[in-house]
Amino acid sequence: MSKTKSEQIFERACRVIPGGVNSPVRAFGSIGGTPRMICRADGAYMTDEDGNEYLDFVGSWGPMILGHNHPEVREAVVKACENGLSYGAATLREVEMAELICGAVPNVDMVRMVNSGTEAVMSAIRAARGYTGRDKIIKFMGCYHGHSDALLVQAGSGVMTAGIPDSAGVPQGCTKDTLSAVYNDVSSAERLFEAFPEEIAAVIVEPVGANMGVVPPQPGFLESLRSLCTKYGAVLIFDEVITGFRLGFTGAQGYFHVDADLVTYGKIIGAGMPVGAYGGKREIMERVAPVGPVYQAGTLSGNPVAMAAGLTQLTILRDHPEIYEELNKKSEWFYAEVRRIMEEKGEEACVNSCASLGCAFFTKTPVVNYETAKTSDTSRYAAYFRHMLSHGIYIAPSQFEAMFLSAAHTQEELERVLEIMRAF
Ligand SMILES: *Cc1c(COP(=O)(O)O)cnc(C)c1O
């Protein structure tokens, strides 16, 4: 059989790009097969180089909440390009972007734009450390906060173990101040605070775990982290790179009614352009250069084309609150149906969801943290993935990623997806 174009291009890719991909999550290693080379996307669909069309549930890993190639976003980008691609100087649009975010999100008095989620988190941690004068941070196992050295810690099973780097090339010294706790287990964080009452600068958490599959916070979890941080004088950082402007316009703080001190953004905030941001309480953000001693910079930060894309998407979302209402309602129905189908079929599965984020874990264990997520049968997921892909449904090529519903997915399309699931 002759090779598909995707296969041919992937062969070329593997010769010149590590693993043939520019981000490991795009590889098909855990589910088998060759990554599809995508050449265009529109609404809820993506098309590959062979002309195959897929109904897409990855949405560029979150940014495409309005669907791909939204006409208003595209027009704003094209228009911005006509005025030049970058100035390395201040612009009006950055101010409008900051005003929009600060005007909408609780506890965000000031915001700094950066170029990725990784950069946003790395910078927020630095700001928290600069503000508190402390070094240690607490993160939760299974939460992903980008690939900066200090945060690449999974830390095995021991809660009290100081950070073991998760990646080659990360010096032990970079992770020695990273403490790992168990998601949805407040006592594990509390014990760390008791052990280091005056050394912990920040607690960073994905308010909805969305990088170990989807793991929503149990009632009281985020609230208790808030109390712990207040009690011990630590900064609570919500990593909202996925949840920001997805759960609703006010993000996880609004959705769960819990206040954070700093928040980080990425993905949706750039509408598909490489953008991140971190922001929060004025007294913390005023520690950032050039007003404060915490240095952080970026040649292309606040890039005019990227800002045009992000600002347009956020403005649409702000002006049309019904988008969230409809998306979240549609999603609740959809994931309930997925749950029902798995039950009917006697599949050993745990379907977790929160707003438009969802995930079917192939395990009978309720998934509440990293340990339980890991009980999933990944070969079963691989078979499920291949079944879906062969029917034109593009879901994440890994058990431990979310499914992203967007405003562009119609009821009819979702019903079709459920039929295909039923046939698995
Ligand atoms: C994707 C992600 C990041 C990293 O963002 P990049 O833009 O890939 O650097 C950080 N935190 C969370 C929660 C993410 O999902």
Mutation test residue for ligand 1: of 25, 118, 123, 125, the one with most atoms within 8 Å of CB? 118
- CA 19 / ligand 1 centre spacing (Å): 20
Expressed in angstroms and rounded, the spacing between residue 113 Cα and the centre of ligand 1 is: 14
Residues having CB within 6 Å of any atom of ligand 1: 116-118, 121, 144-146, 206, 211, 239, 241-242, 266, 276
* pLDDT at residue 166 tops 90: no
Average pLDDT over residues 23-34: 90
Across the chain, mean pLDDT equals 95
Q: Kindly report whether the peptide bond that precedes residue 290 is cis, defined as omega within 30 degrees of 0.
A: yes
Please pick, among 136, 139, 267, 374, the residue that the annotation labels catalytic: 267
- Mean local confidence (pLDDT), 302-307: 98
Whether 356 has a pLDDT exceeding 60, the answer reads: yes
CA of 424 to the centre of ligand 1 (A): 31
| pLDDT number for residue 164 | 65
Atom of ligand 1 lying closest to residue 143 CA: 13
pLDDT (mean) for 385-402: 96
Can you tell me the distance from the alpha carbon of 405 to that of 58, in angstroms, rounded to the nearest whole number? 8
pLDDT band at 165; cut points 50, 70, 90:
confident
- pLDDT > 90 in the chain, percent: 93
CB atoms within 10 A of CB 13: 18
Rg (the chain; Cα; Å): 21
Mutate which of 143, 241, 398 to test ligand 1's pocket (most atoms within 8 Å of Cβ)? 241
Q: How far is the CA of 193 from the centre of ligand 1 (A)?
A: 26
Under the banding of pLDDT at 50, 70 and 90, the label for residue 153 is confident
Given a contact cutoff of 8 angstroms between Cβ atoms, the answer to whether 371 and 157 are in contact is yes
For residue 416, pLDDT over 80 is answered with: yes
Task: Indicate if 394 belongs to the active site.
Answer: no
Please report the atom of ligand 1 found closest to the CA of residue 243. 13
Q: How far is the CA of 163 from the centre of ligand 1 (A)?
A: 20
Determine the residue of 144, 240, 359 to mutate for testing ligand 1's pocket, defined as the one with the most ligand atoms within 8 A of the Cβ atom. Answer: 144
Would you call 267 a catalytic residue per the annotation?
yes
Q: Are 387 and 402 in contact (CB under 8 A)?
A: no
For residue 146, which atom of ligand 1 is closest to its CA? 4
Confidence of residue 190 (pLDDT cuts 50, 70, 90): very high
- For residue 276, the ligand 1 atom closest to its alpha carbon is 7
The band of 30, judged by pLDDT with boundaries at 50, 70 and 90, is confident
| CA 266 / ligand 1 centre spacing (Å) | 7
Cα separations (Å) of 41 from 187, 216, 306?
Answer: 45, 29, 18
pLDDT at 29: 86
Mean pLDDT of 320-343: 98
State which ligand 1 atom lies nearest to the alpha carbon of 118: 9
Residue 163: pLDDT band with limits 50, 70, 90 = low
Indicate which atom in ligand 1 lies nearest the CA of residue 240: 13
Task: Give the per-residue pLDDT at 155.
Answer: 43
Pocket test for ligand 1, best of 22, 151, 211 (most atoms within 8 A of CB): 211
From atom 6 of ligand 1, which residue's Cα is the shortest distance away? Answer: 117
Gap from CA of 118 to ligand 1 centroid (Å): 6
Instruction: Give the distance (Å) from ligand 1 centre to CA of residue 331.
Output: 22
Catalytic residue, candidates 45, 54, 144, 183: 144
**φ and ψ at residue 199, rounded to 5 degrees:** -115, -5
Do 268 and 244 form a contact (C-beta atoms < 8 A)? yes
Based on the residue annotation, tell me whether 232 is a catalytic residue of this protein. Answer: no
Who contacts 17 (Cβ-Cβ below 8 Å, separation ≥6)?
A: none
In this model, does residue 154 exceed pLDDT 90? no
Q: Which of 82, 116, 57, 127 is nearest to 294 (CA)?
A: 127
Q: What is the pLDDT of residue 42?
A: 98
> How many Cβ atoms are within 10 Å of 277's Cβ, its own excluded?
30
